[in-house]
Amino acid sequence: MQVPIIRRQRPDFTPSYMPSDPDRAARDQISPFKSADDALTHAIGVMVYSLFPGHPWMIYADHEQGVVVISIPALMGPTKKMVIPIKRLCNEAEARRNVSNICGEILERYRIPRAGFDQDEFLRALGDIPIHRRSYHGFVPE
């Protein structure tokens, strides 16, 4: 495969060293659900941070798959996540109940109090993960 020679043309020109890709335009199209995903992620994020302040949550919504994903990557790793189907978030009271249950379950599995973030408890939970289980795949206690 031959890589094209890139010449600097303008001061704001950024060279690309990747070979040309004919399908790039199709892949780079913005999802039709992007604004809905962002709005739902923000709403769930505000809810989670009001219920369980200070904890390092990762939250995102995906309308294409129909789910909201919640995790604490520092403890759970990048591959373990808790999933809530979007259809279970039909009104605010039900959404608050489902989100509270999922987030509380994550905290309880790592024996972290539901109250505000406590660094000592978080570090203890991180230290409780067995050394042979600290991998890319994370660890979720039962």
DSSP letter string over 11-32?
TT-----SPP-TTHHHHTSPPT
Q: Which element (helix H / strand E) includes 52?
A: none
Q: What is the pLDDT of residue 6?
A: 47
pLDDT in tens, 77-123: 778 899 999 999 888 999 999 999 999 999 888 888 888 777 777 77
Residue 59: burial class (beta carbons within 10 Å; 0-12, 13-18, 19+): buried
**CATH for 34-127, options being 3.30.1360, 3.30.70, 3.40.50, 3.30.160:** 3.30.160
CA dihedral 90, 91, 97, 101 (to 10 degrees): 30
Name which residue leads in pLDDT, 73 or 121. Answer: 73
Average pLDDT rounded to a whole number, residues 17-45: 71
Q: In Å, what is the CA distance from 57 to each residue of 75, 78, 108, 127?
A: 10, 12, 14, 19
Q: Which residues of 47-58 are buried (b: 16+ CB within 10 A; e: fewer)?
A: bbeeebeebebe
Average pLDDT rounded to a whole number, residues 25-33: 63
pLDDT in tens, 8-19: 455 555 545 444
Per-domain residue ranges for the chain?
34-127
What is the 8-class DSSP label of residue 114? Answer: S
